[in-house]
């Protein structure tokens, strides 16, 4: 619903959008400890999980992002604004390329 309501702002060339996220919050205090050993150390598993989500976001596919969240329960801080933005793109006439500028982790 919000994506449909806000899509007109994507079509206005005067607007600029920057969506920021912390991505995965991992650990017992966040009740999230997903770990895929095939990636090695825990931080590598988290990065692989985040990058999978980032790759989906870059496609602009709101439904694929929803499916990813449902499957992995990644605690992406900002997942709701990201979802709204993807739905804005889905409902706008303007085609936007999404690119991540930087990815870092804190330990």
* DSSP one-letter code for 23: B
pLDDT, tens digit (0-9, with 9 covering 90-100), for 66-89: 999 999 999 998 999 999 999 999
> In this predicted structure, what is the pLDDT of residue 19?
84
User: Does residue 90 contact residue 98 with C-beta atoms inside 8 Å?
Assistant: no
Instruction: Report pTM.
Output: 0.89
The Cα 75–Cα 32 span in angstroms is 7
CA nearest to 49, candidates 31, 25, 28, 17: 25
């Amino acid at each position: 619903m919000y994506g449909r309501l806000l899509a007109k702002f994507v079509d206005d060339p005067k607007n600029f959008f920057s969506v920021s996220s912390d991505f995965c919050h991992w650990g017992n205090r966040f009740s999230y400890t997903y770990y895929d050993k095939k990636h090695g150390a825990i931080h590598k598993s988290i990065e692989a999980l985040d990058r999978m989500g980032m790759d989906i976001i870059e496609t602009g596919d709101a439904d694929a992002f929803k499916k990813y969240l449902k499957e992995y329960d990644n605690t992406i801080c900002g997942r709701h604004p990201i979802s709204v933005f993807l739905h804005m793109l889905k409902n706008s006439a303007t085609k936007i390329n999404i690119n991540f500028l930087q990815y870092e982790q804190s330990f």
